[in-house]
Structure 1
């Protein structure tokens, strides 16, 4: 059984998962993904950091939303250690529901074309490709997605 709950982005569990994600991104894309995310950006009442935990209470995944505009949130740092199936889906469902409850109408995200597992995951979950936004404009290696929450 997987549970997802709001958590402290500065906790040791969160730090461990962020570092695992960064290492995996560096292996896949050549970049660790830290350029456009710092834990400090989670210090906002319209931001949310969550951890997925297994039945033993071990943190096995993480994810976040943070504001882009009043009505649009950005999905960040989605990661599963793959120790159990369904972690990504549990995280995504929780974050989408939370974003909607927080008043967001849309979620946007960026990943890399080369990260096929992520691209396929988001497409399977109803995200559509959009023009690159913000810091990803002009970055050919980036692919951006959006999903309406209504």
Structure 2
């Protein structure tokens, strides 16, 4: 559990109703920005011992955002992947709190690096990650040769 500026972040079931509401909002937003919802890049059932899905709430219990962590490159990999990062519009500090939480969880799970992919068209996300120390990394998997994607990473 993490609490920052009245924000509480807890592990949650990615298939649960609150998580699905946030994931649906994220997919709708990505569809407007990128022309692709990104739904095919995330499997809610793919929980592992070295990953998780996290939901942020305010002091009144209202949903603020979510993020997921999963191994990248196998169960013993030193690299984790950040997936489905989302903060509801107008919720200042939620994205930074979620990112800090996922980074801390990744360290606890023994990861040395955290990678992510986003669309080039999502300039707001690209700028957010750059502000938090993420830089371009070599693309992996389906992102290899995908001109619409940018792969970013950070040493933990």
Bucket of the pairwise TM-score, normalised by the shorter protein: over 0.9
* Larger mean Cα displacement after TM superposition, 32-41 or 88-97: 32-41
Q: Deviations over 1:77-110 (max 9, x none)?
A: 0001124210000000000001001100000000
* Residue 107 (str. 1) matches residue 111 (str. 2): no
Whole-angstrom CA distance in 2 between matches of 1:28 and 1:36:
16
Number of residue equivalences: 148
Q: How far apart, CA to CA, are the structure 1 residues paired with 2:142 and 2:45?
A: 18
TM-score (norm 1): 0.96
Conserved in 2, the CA contact under 8 Å of 1:60 and 1:83?
A: no
Aligned-pair distance for 1:144?
0.4
Greater shift, 79-88 or 99-108, is seen at 79-88
Instruction: Identify which of 128, 146, 153 aligns with 1:121.
Output: 128
* Aligned counterpart, 2:71: 67
Runs of at least 5 residues in structure 1 that lack an aligned partner in the other structure: none
What aligned pairs does 1:81-96 form with structure 2 within 5 A after superposition? 81-96=88-103
TM-score (norm 2): 0.92
Gaps of 5+ in 2: 1-5
* Misfit runs of 4+, over 3 Å: none
